[in-house]
Amino acid sequence: MKTFSKGGVHPPEQKLTAGKKIITLDLPGEVALLLGQHIGAPAKPVVAKGDKVKRGDMIAEAGGFVSAPVHTPISGTVVKIDTVKNQQGLAVPAVFIKADAEDAAADAEARANLKPLRDDAAIAALKDNEIKDIIKNAGIVGLGGATFPTHVKLSPPPEFKAEVVIINAVECEPYITADHALMMEFPDEIIEGVRLLSRAVNVNRAIIGIEANKPDAIALLQEKLAGATDIEVCPLKVKYPQGGEKQLIEAVIGREVPSGALPIATGAVVQNVATAYAVHRAVRYGENLTERLATVTGPGVSAPGNFKIAIGTPLSALIAAAGGLPEDTAKVIGGGPMMGRTIDNIEAPAVKGTSALLIFGEDDSKRRPVENCIRCAKCVDACPMGLEPYLLSTLSRLKRWDDAETEKIVNCVECGSCSFICPASRPLLDYIRLGKTTVMAAIRSRKS
């Protein structure tokens, strides 16, 4: 069975919510919509205090080519444009919208009875640039967590030509199952989204990569695609971080992304399976990206599940839907345990990149005591990028930024495999992240 060649680890899976049906939460009565919830330039407000908006309206336009517009999931009145504390407790710009009872009733009705905007013939008549424009105007970004604007990925530099679309349905982080649930409940919609993505980059080959721990999803999609020549399902060996773009490309088509190069250099355009579903919704229904799926889980969570939520919903409401915080809660993580970040403010609004909330008790939150490096080189063996994490960590700790750059610290994908495998419990990734951020800032400064 296929996989990537360098490194990788096998964390305990803990897919507690696998097999759970998607639960759709009611639309909130009030939302705060961050202007910067994607990679690239923040969006720019196109509304003012007191404006009335309808569900799906654009409330902020893209702030540049690498950017994405933001749309409201509810109808209502813009009550203010101000700052709100994000998940890390930092004040960031946002648009605040509040619905009244009439707005809420109309939205619930419209959401339950959404009608297609385009039929099969209209979709078949769309040109590649028209599909990309729909995706761009809908504010769709990578929904695997990176939130890179999708239309940018679908518009590679002229010197590169796309040969294949790879759909990332790996979901290799422990605990998270939102993509798995999406594949089980909306396979036909995902397949249509994949075909639209292929048409957008003018290729006739797409591959859906799924790890072997989701045999039901593999079987379902293979059944749906029986006889198809344009899309294939590629079962993959279970190994973390196979959901990383570079690792997935190598696993699926056997090509390695050169150091410093874009993934498109291999001829592959990688999109998340949830992104493909969002593309289907945008093209067929004219639905802008205002909602997404998120897993809420953890060892002590009373009602863990996969939830469909409106972007802008307070995280506390999502946690409440899963039964609330257990009494022994010590840490809430946004994302998975390997690459996720600790959340300091559970009243922060959900954003386009909110894929999961992981709730840990005291015992699961403690870091082991840090010990001296024993020179075992397990971190080197585990690194999927072929780096030397112990060295990069030390160089960062000593602030030897030039040496860290020479040792290719910017190639780190921040997967956390090194910290996970380290028998001395050294905070390798913490220092590497610091060094990578510093080195990349220096590189940008030199270029400017």
- In terms of Cα–Cα distance, which of 419, 413, 416, 417 is closest to 367? 419
Q: Determine the pLDDT at residue 226.
A: 97
Average pLDDT on 101-108 reads 96
At residue 235, the pLDDT reads 98
Of 129-133, 143-147, 210-214, 237-241, the least confident:
143-147
The pLDDT of residue 145 is 81
DSSP state of 266: G
Per residue in 16-61, pLDDT (tens digit) is 999 999 999 999 999 999 999 999 999 999 999 999 999 999 999 9
**Tokens at residue 127, please?**
């040109």
414 SS3 class? coil
With 90 as the cut, is the pLDDT of residue 204 above it? yes
pLDDT over 90 (residue 346): yes
pLDDT, residue 89, reads 96
Over residues 397-415, the mean pLDDT reads 97
The model's confidence at residue 425, banded by pLDDT at 50, 70 and 90, is very high
On whether the CB atoms of residues 315 and 86 are closer than 8 A, the answer is no
* Res 177 pLDDT > 90: yes
Nearest residue to 222 (alpha-carbon basis) of 274, 169, 173, 176: 169
Average of per-residue pLDDT across 131-136:
98
Rg (CA), the chain: 22
pLDDT in tens, 3-25: 999 999 999 999 999 999 999 99
Please name the residue that has the structure tokens 């028209």. 130
Is the CB of residue 83 less than 8 Å from the CB of residue 92? yes
Output the pLDDT for position 234.
98
Contact 208, 169 (CB under 8 A): yes
Full DSSP string of 329-393: EEEEEES-TTT-EE-S-TTSBP-TT--EEEEEEHHHHPPPPP-------HHHHH-TT---HHHHH
pTM listed for this prediction? 0.96
Tell whether the model's pLDDT for residue 448 goes beyond 90: no
- Helix orientation angle between 128-137 and 187-200, rounded to the nearest 10 degrees: 120
Q: How far apart are CA 421 and CA 174, in angstroms?
A: 15
CB atoms within 10 A of CB 65: 12
**pLDDT exceeds cutoff 90 at 393:** yes
- 227's CB contacts (< 8 A; 6+ apart) are none
Report percent pLDDT > 90 for the chain. Answer: 98
CA dihedral over 159, 165, 171, 176, signed as positive or negative: positive
Asked if residue 357 has pLDDT above 90, the reply is yes
Q: Region 277-292: what's the mean pLDDT?
A: 98
Burial class (CB in 10 A: 0-12, 13-18, 19+), 155: middle
pLDDT at residue 146 is higher than 90: no
Find the helix or strand (DSSP H, E) in which 31 lies: strand 30-34
Contacts of 161 (CB under 8 A, 6+ apart): 267
Instruction: For residue 404, give the DSSP letter.
Output: H
Q: How far is CA 42 from CA 45, 92, 141, 425, in A?
A: 10, 10, 13, 37
Confidence of residue 400 (pLDDT cuts 50, 70, 90): very high
- The predicted structure's pLDDT at residue 94: 98
The two beta strands, 76-85 and 231-236, are unpaired
Is the per-residue pLDDT at 213 higher than 90? yes
The C-alpha atoms of residue 112 and residue 90 are separated, in whole angstroms, by: 35
Mean pLDDT, rounded, for 96-114:
96
- 3-class SS of residue 321: helix
Q: Give the burial class of 341: count Cβ atoms within 10 A of its Cβ; 0-12 exposed, 13-18 middle, 19 or more buried.
A: exposed
